[in-house]
Amino acid sequence: MNIRKNKMKQKLKAGELVFSASVRLPEPGLVEVMGYAGVDYVLIDAEHGSMGWTEMERMILAAYAADVTPIVRVHENNEAMIMRTLDIGAMGVLVPHCRNAADAQQVVNGALYPPDGKRGVGPSRGIKFGAVSASDYYANINDEISVSVMIEDAEAIDNIDEIVEVKGIDVLNVGTSDLAASLGVPGQPLHPKVAQASEKVLAAATRKGIAVGYPTRSIEDGVEAIKRGFRVFSCGNAAPLLLQAVEQYLRLQHGA
Protein backbone atom coordinates (compact mmCIF):
# COMPACT_ATOMS: atom_id res chain seq x y z
CA MET A 1 0.00 0.00 0.00
CA ASN A 2 1.30 3.45 -0.96
CA ILE A 3 1.09 6.82 0.77
CA ARG A 4 -1.53 9.29 -0.41
CA LYS A 5 -0.56 11.60 -3.24
CA ASN A 6 -0.98 15.35 -2.95
CA LYS A 7 -2.76 16.29 -6.17
CA MET A 8 -2.48 19.99 -5.39
CA LYS A 9 1.29 19.76 -5.08
CA GLN A 10 1.55 17.66 -8.24
CA LYS A 11 -0.20 20.43 -10.19
CA LEU A 12 2.12 23.02 -8.70
CA LYS A 13 5.17 21.01 -9.74
CA ALA A 14 3.75 20.73 -13.25
CA GLY A 15 3.44 24.53 -13.45
CA GLU A 16 -0.35 24.44 -13.57
CA LEU A 17 -2.93 26.70 -11.95
CA VAL A 18 -4.43 25.56 -8.66
CA PHE A 19 -7.91 26.37 -7.31
CA SER A 20 -9.36 25.95 -3.86
CA ALA A 21 -12.38 26.63 -1.71
CA SER A 22 -12.31 27.19 2.04
CA VAL A 23 -14.53 25.91 4.85
CA ARG A 24 -14.76 27.65 8.22
CA LEU A 25 -17.79 25.93 9.71
CA PRO A 26 -17.10 22.57 11.44
CA GLU A 27 -19.09 20.65 8.83
CA PRO A 28 -17.48 17.71 6.98
CA GLY A 29 -20.27 17.69 4.41
CA LEU A 30 -19.25 21.14 3.16
CA VAL A 31 -15.70 19.90 2.61
CA GLU A 32 -17.05 16.93 0.69
CA VAL A 33 -19.27 19.10 -1.50
CA MET A 34 -16.43 21.48 -2.34
CA GLY A 35 -14.36 18.47 -3.36
CA TYR A 36 -17.09 17.17 -5.66
CA ALA A 37 -17.32 20.64 -7.19
CA GLY A 38 -13.85 20.07 -8.59
CA VAL A 39 -11.41 22.24 -6.64
CA ASP A 40 -7.81 21.05 -6.33
CA TYR A 41 -7.78 21.40 -2.57
CA VAL A 42 -10.09 22.37 0.26
CA LEU A 43 -8.70 24.82 2.80
CA ILE A 44 -9.96 23.84 6.24
CA ASP A 45 -9.70 27.22 7.93
CA ALA A 46 -8.83 26.71 11.58
CA GLU A 47 -7.53 30.27 11.88
CA HIS A 48 -10.88 31.93 11.31
CA GLY A 49 -13.18 28.91 11.78
CA SER A 50 -14.76 27.31 14.83
CA MET A 51 -13.60 23.72 14.46
CA GLY A 52 -11.64 21.83 17.11
CA TRP A 53 -9.28 18.92 16.56
CA THR A 54 -12.03 16.27 16.38
CA GLU A 55 -14.05 18.24 13.84
CA MET A 56 -10.91 19.00 11.85
CA GLU A 57 -10.07 15.31 11.67
CA ARG A 58 -13.54 14.49 10.35
CA MET A 59 -13.28 17.30 7.79
CA ILE A 60 -9.98 15.83 6.58
CA LEU A 61 -11.64 12.44 6.20
CA ALA A 62 -14.45 14.09 4.22
CA ALA A 63 -11.83 15.46 1.85
CA TYR A 64 -10.51 11.93 1.36
CA ALA A 65 -14.06 10.78 0.59
CA ALA A 66 -14.29 13.38 -2.20
CA ASP A 67 -10.73 12.63 -3.40
CA VAL A 68 -9.61 16.21 -2.85
CA THR A 69 -6.47 17.39 -1.06
CA PRO A 70 -7.09 18.65 2.51
CA ILE A 71 -4.98 21.66 3.53
CA VAL A 72 -5.39 23.21 6.98
CA ARG A 73 -4.82 26.87 7.81
CA VAL A 74 -3.57 26.76 11.38
CA HIS A 75 -4.09 29.78 13.58
CA GLU A 76 -0.45 30.37 14.51
CA ASN A 77 3.10 29.48 13.52
CA ASN A 78 3.65 26.69 16.03
CA GLU A 79 5.75 23.64 15.16
CA ALA A 80 3.81 21.30 17.46
CA MET A 81 0.48 22.47 16.04
CA ILE A 82 1.71 22.03 12.47
CA MET A 83 2.97 18.53 13.27
CA ARG A 84 -0.31 17.49 14.91
CA THR A 85 -2.34 18.85 11.99
CA LEU A 86 -0.35 16.70 9.57
CA ASP A 87 -0.42 13.68 11.89
CA ILE A 88 -4.24 13.61 11.81
CA GLY A 89 -4.16 13.52 8.02
CA ALA A 90 -3.82 16.97 6.44
CA MET A 91 -1.71 16.95 3.28
CA GLY A 92 -0.37 20.42 3.90
CA VAL A 93 -0.62 23.56 6.00
CA LEU A 94 -1.12 27.26 5.41
CA VAL A 95 0.46 29.34 8.17
CA PRO A 96 -0.51 32.99 8.80
CA HIS A 97 1.73 36.02 9.29
CA CYS A 98 5.07 34.83 7.96
CA ARG A 99 7.12 37.98 8.49
CA ASN A 100 10.72 36.89 7.92
CA ALA A 101 13.01 34.00 7.03
CA ALA A 102 13.03 32.71 10.62
CA ASP A 103 9.22 32.44 10.54
CA ALA A 104 9.36 30.59 7.22
CA GLN A 105 11.99 28.19 8.53
CA GLN A 106 9.86 27.46 11.58
CA VAL A 107 6.97 26.44 9.32
CA VAL A 108 9.23 24.11 7.35
CA ASN A 109 10.63 22.66 10.56
CA GLY A 110 7.16 21.72 11.77
CA ALA A 111 5.94 20.35 8.45
CA LEU A 112 8.81 18.25 7.12
CA TYR A 113 10.81 15.40 8.58
CA PRO A 114 14.61 15.55 8.81
CA PRO A 115 16.78 16.31 6.97
CA ASP A 116 14.43 18.88 5.37
CA GLY A 117 12.78 19.94 8.63
CA LYS A 118 12.39 18.94 12.26
CA ARG A 119 8.90 17.41 12.35
CA GLY A 120 8.37 15.08 15.29
CA VAL A 121 7.74 11.42 14.48
CA GLY A 122 4.19 10.14 15.03
CA PRO A 123 2.64 9.84 11.56
CA SER A 124 -0.54 7.86 12.38
CA ARG A 125 -2.95 8.49 9.48
CA GLY A 126 -0.21 9.48 7.03
CA ILE A 127 1.33 6.04 7.28
CA LYS A 128 -2.20 4.55 7.24
CA PHE A 129 -1.67 3.31 10.79
CA GLY A 130 1.07 0.93 9.67
CA ALA A 131 -0.43 -0.26 6.37
CA VAL A 132 2.29 1.70 4.54
CA SER A 133 5.85 0.54 5.09
CA ALA A 134 7.99 2.90 7.14
CA SER A 135 10.66 2.90 4.46
CA ASP A 136 8.17 4.01 1.80
CA TYR A 137 6.62 6.62 4.08
CA TYR A 138 9.78 8.37 5.18
CA ALA A 139 11.36 8.21 1.74
CA ASN A 140 8.42 9.98 0.10
CA ILE A 141 6.21 11.88 2.52
CA ASN A 142 8.12 15.19 2.46
CA ASP A 143 7.47 15.33 -1.29
CA GLU A 144 3.71 15.05 -0.68
CA ILE A 145 3.33 17.67 2.07
CA SER A 146 2.61 21.17 0.78
CA VAL A 147 3.98 24.08 2.79
CA SER A 148 2.25 27.43 2.31
CA VAL A 149 2.60 30.70 4.21
CA MET A 150 0.63 33.93 4.32
CA ILE A 151 2.43 37.11 3.30
CA GLU A 152 0.22 39.71 4.94
CA ASP A 153 2.46 42.14 6.83
CA ALA A 154 4.54 45.11 5.77
CA GLU A 155 7.51 43.48 7.49
CA ALA A 156 7.15 40.45 5.23
CA ILE A 157 7.32 42.66 2.14
CA ASP A 158 10.55 44.18 3.42
CA ASN A 159 11.97 40.70 4.03
CA ILE A 160 10.56 38.91 0.98
CA ASP A 161 13.95 38.29 -0.65
CA GLU A 162 15.07 36.45 2.49
CA ILE A 163 11.82 34.50 2.85
CA VAL A 164 12.01 33.02 -0.65
CA GLU A 165 15.48 31.66 0.11
CA VAL A 166 14.05 29.25 2.69
CA LYS A 167 13.96 25.76 1.19
CA GLY A 168 10.70 23.84 1.48
CA ILE A 169 8.16 26.63 0.90
CA ASP A 170 5.76 25.73 -1.93
CA VAL A 171 3.33 28.69 -1.93
CA LEU A 172 3.32 32.29 -0.78
CA ASN A 173 -0.25 33.49 -0.33
CA VAL A 174 -0.72 37.24 -0.45
CA GLY A 175 -3.25 38.29 2.19
CA THR A 176 -4.45 41.58 0.79
CA SER A 177 -6.83 42.51 3.62
CA ASP A 178 -4.30 42.15 6.44
CA LEU A 179 -1.63 43.60 4.19
CA ALA A 180 -3.75 46.69 3.57
CA ALA A 181 -4.11 47.24 7.31
CA SER A 182 -0.39 46.72 7.87
CA LEU A 183 0.44 49.22 5.13
CA GLY A 184 -1.78 51.87 6.70
CA VAL A 185 -4.77 51.57 4.35
CA PRO A 186 -7.18 49.28 6.27
CA GLY A 187 -10.26 48.17 4.37
CA GLN A 188 -8.62 48.93 1.01
CA PRO A 189 -7.26 45.62 -0.34
CA LEU A 190 -7.14 47.07 -3.86
CA HIS A 191 -5.11 50.13 -2.85
CA PRO A 192 -2.04 50.84 -5.03
CA LYS A 193 0.21 50.21 -2.01
CA VAL A 194 -1.16 46.68 -1.72
CA ALA A 195 -0.88 46.10 -5.47
CA GLN A 196 2.74 47.25 -5.44
CA ALA A 197 3.56 44.98 -2.49
CA SER A 198 1.85 42.04 -4.20
CA GLU A 199 3.96 42.54 -7.30
CA LYS A 200 7.11 42.55 -5.17
CA VAL A 201 6.11 39.19 -3.69
CA LEU A 202 5.33 37.81 -7.13
CA ALA A 203 8.67 38.91 -8.57
CA ALA A 204 10.73 37.48 -5.70
CA ALA A 205 8.85 34.17 -5.65
CA THR A 206 8.98 33.73 -9.41
CA ARG A 207 12.77 34.05 -9.34
CA LYS A 208 12.89 31.05 -6.97
CA GLY A 209 10.18 28.98 -8.66
CA ILE A 210 7.69 29.42 -5.79
CA ALA A 211 3.99 29.69 -6.62
CA VAL A 212 2.05 32.72 -5.40
CA GLY A 213 -1.57 32.79 -4.31
CA TYR A 214 -3.85 35.78 -4.69
CA PRO A 215 -7.39 36.36 -3.29
CA THR A 216 -9.35 37.28 -6.40
CA ARG A 217 -12.79 38.83 -5.96
CA SER A 218 -14.33 38.11 -9.36
CA ILE A 219 -13.78 36.06 -12.50
CA GLU A 220 -12.41 39.15 -14.23
CA ASP A 221 -10.04 39.77 -11.32
CA GLY A 222 -8.90 36.15 -11.57
CA VAL A 223 -8.20 36.37 -15.30
CA GLU A 224 -6.08 39.45 -14.73
CA ALA A 225 -4.20 37.79 -11.86
CA ILE A 226 -3.40 34.79 -14.07
CA LYS A 227 -1.97 37.14 -16.70
CA ARG A 228 0.21 38.75 -14.04
CA GLY A 229 1.64 35.36 -13.04
CA PHE A 230 -0.28 34.30 -9.93
CA ARG A 231 -0.99 30.56 -9.85
CA VAL A 232 -3.02 29.72 -6.72
CA PHE A 233 -6.59 30.96 -6.38
CA SER A 234 -9.59 30.57 -4.08
CA CYS A 235 -13.14 30.18 -5.35
CA GLY A 236 -14.31 31.57 -2.00
CA ASN A 237 -15.61 30.41 1.34
CA ALA A 238 -18.31 27.72 1.39
CA ALA A 239 -20.81 29.61 3.55
CA PRO A 240 -20.88 32.86 1.52
CA LEU A 241 -20.96 30.81 -1.69
CA LEU A 242 -24.05 29.00 -0.40
CA LEU A 243 -25.63 32.30 0.63
CA GLN A 244 -25.05 33.81 -2.81
CA ALA A 245 -26.48 30.74 -4.56
CA VAL A 246 -29.67 30.80 -2.49
CA GLU A 247 -30.09 34.57 -2.89
CA GLN A 248 -29.71 34.24 -6.64
CA TYR A 249 -32.29 31.44 -6.75
CA LEU A 250 -34.77 33.47 -4.68
CA ARG A 251 -34.36 36.48 -6.95
CA LEU A 252 -35.24 34.27 -9.90
CA GLN A 253 -38.28 32.93 -8.03
CA HIS A 254 -39.50 36.47 -7.41
CA GLY A 255 -38.76 37.60 -10.96
CA ALA A 256 -36.11 40.08 -9.90
DSSP per-residue string spanning 206-230: HHTT-EEEE--SSHHHHHHHHHHT-
Alpha carbon distance 138, 98 (integer Å): 27
* Rg of the chain on CA atoms, in Å: 18
Alpha carbon distance 16, 18 (integer Å): 6
Quote the DSSP letter at residue 26. S
Alpha carbon distance 231, 213 (integer Å): 6
User: Is the distance from CB of 178 to CB of 149 less than 8 angstroms?
Assistant: no
* Residue (of 115, 116, 69) closest to 93 by Cα position: 69
Q: What is the Cα 110 distance to its own chain's centre?
A: 15
Residue 48 bears catalytic tag: yes
Alpha carbon distance 10, 164 (integer Å): 20
Alpha carbon distance 64, 14 (integer Å): 22
Residues whose CB falls within 8 Å of the CB of residue 104, separated by 6 or more in sequence, listed in order: 98, 149, 163, 166, 169
Q: Please report, to the nearest 10 degrees, the dihedral formed by the alpha carbons of residues 203, 205, 211, 217 taken in order.
A: -50
Which are the catalytic amino acids? 48
